[in-house]
Amino acid sequence: MICGIDEAGRGPWAGPVTAAAVILDPAQPVTGLTDSKKLTEARREALYPEIKAKALGYGIGWASPDEIDAFNIREATFLAMRRAVAIMGLVPELILVDGNALPATLPCPAKAIVKGDLTEPSISAASILAKVARDRAMEELANRFPGYGLRRHKGYGTAEHAEALESLGPCSCHRKSFAPVQRVLKAA
């Protein structure tokens, strides 16, 4: 009952931060797990339903742009992680979190592991679930907020995104506490 946790979307200027918690079933291994950033989009999409089908439990938690602005990105990430564990419906014996910091008030002992998404299969699985879920959420936001290029850059800081912010101004999916968005708001 080891749970891996990872997040996606800490750096973008728009959209939620997403965390996933996964308890893998040793009797049903998933092959090809690694850091989601090392996989193609097609491979992540193929692994996503397999992880969900074979895991003993999983949860996907979110923190909105408003929560990111209210609490800061670190605390919002920890909130998404706690939500992912709560949604999972199982209480693990140990939680392994990718990175060098842990959220407070987890339901069991936890350990932070730098680059854990490369070494711990449960964290790798969480990395994939979080990335695919967030990418899909950004696709939906791209439909709701056309003109920003969200489908292509997923809310990250690209030249295209900066130009769209300048011409259209921020929308409700933007993180108003992030400096590039703040600059546009102050200039308006």
Number of domains into which the chain is organized = 1
Do 57 and 99 meet the contact criterion of CB atoms below 8 Å apart? no
Percent of the chain past pLDDT 70, that is, above it, reads: 100
Judge whether residue 188 has pLDDT over 90.
no
Q: Is 140 labelled a binding residue? A: no
Q: Is 25 labelled a binding residue? A: no
Cα–Cα distance between 106 and 119 in angstroms, integer? 22
Domain that holds residue 37: 2-187
Element (H, E) at 94: strand 94-98
Do 135 and 154 meet the contact criterion of CB atoms below 8 Å apart? yes
The pLDDT value recorded for residue 155 is 98
The pLDDT value recorded for residue 51 is 98
Backbone angles phi, psi at 179, to 5 degrees: -50, -45
pTM across the whole model: 0.96
The pLDDT value recorded for residue 165 is 96
The pLDDT value recorded for residue 26 is 96
Q: What is the pLDDT of residues 139-166, one digit of tens each?
A: 999 999 999 999 999 999 999 999 999 9
Q: What is the pLDDT of residues 43-82, one digit of tens each?
A: 999 999 999 999 999 999 999 999 999 999 999 999 999 9
Percent of the chain past pLDDT 90, that is, above it, reads: 98
Q: Is 41 labelled a binding residue? A: no
Judge whether residue 35 has pLDDT over 80.
yes
According to DSSP, the residues that pair with 17 across neighbouring strands are 63
CATH number where 81 lies? 3.30.420.10
